Structure 1
Amino acid sequence: MRGSDGAAVLLDLERFSVGPREWDLVVAAVYERLGWYSTQEYAGFADAYGFDITDWSGFDVLAAMRRLRMTAWLCARTGREPHLLPEARRRIASLRDPRAPHTWTPGT
């Protein structure tokens, strides 16, 4: 693919898809709930986008799905990266008990 000036433009289409905006927006809200984004950062994001997904009636379900997906992804890595086991166990425990703290470590 080339830009209007003829220069090559690289795109990562690995996760490119068409779908509801909520699926993309829930990521930032979940990161804020996990403490990975500050409340101010998330508020700025939602304001700039013009929609705060946490006000949407389906937010809790979609957020739970995202946390499950994040946990499954991490668990799949533990066979080759056993140092991730404590984090995987912590995430599983927090999914089993929604009242438990969600003290997940980003970037693992």
Structure 2
Amino acid sequence: MDIDFPLVLVVLTFATGVVWLADKLFLRKRRLANAQQQPSTDSAEEAKEPWLIDISRSFFPVLAVVLVLRSFLIEPFQIPSGSMLPTLEVGDFILVNKYAYGLRLPVAGTKVVEIGDPER
């Protein structure tokens, strides 16, 4: 089974970003207003966020940094065959400088900004 990792990364980054932004703009105000209206003896219970918002708030910055690094700067690859012997062995890991080839959209691969050699 071949998983399209860039697509999964873009979708997860977008989903966690939307949840985080919705909480920041709308949901937190409503949650705090509801907590103040309902009398409660436990103040820690009022401040508790739902698990989805907590996870999204935690993962969004990490996923965004990984997305930017892998999409525009460097990407790790594993050598799949012996076509590069004797220089690179099967299973070796290499980092590819993606910035030298120009800025491309993460999943589509469409070149957005030309950088460096136009022949690439």
- Per the TM superposition, whether the score is higher than 0.5 is no
Bigger RCO (CA 8 Å, 6+ sep): 2
For normalisation by structure 2, the TM-score amounts to 0.27
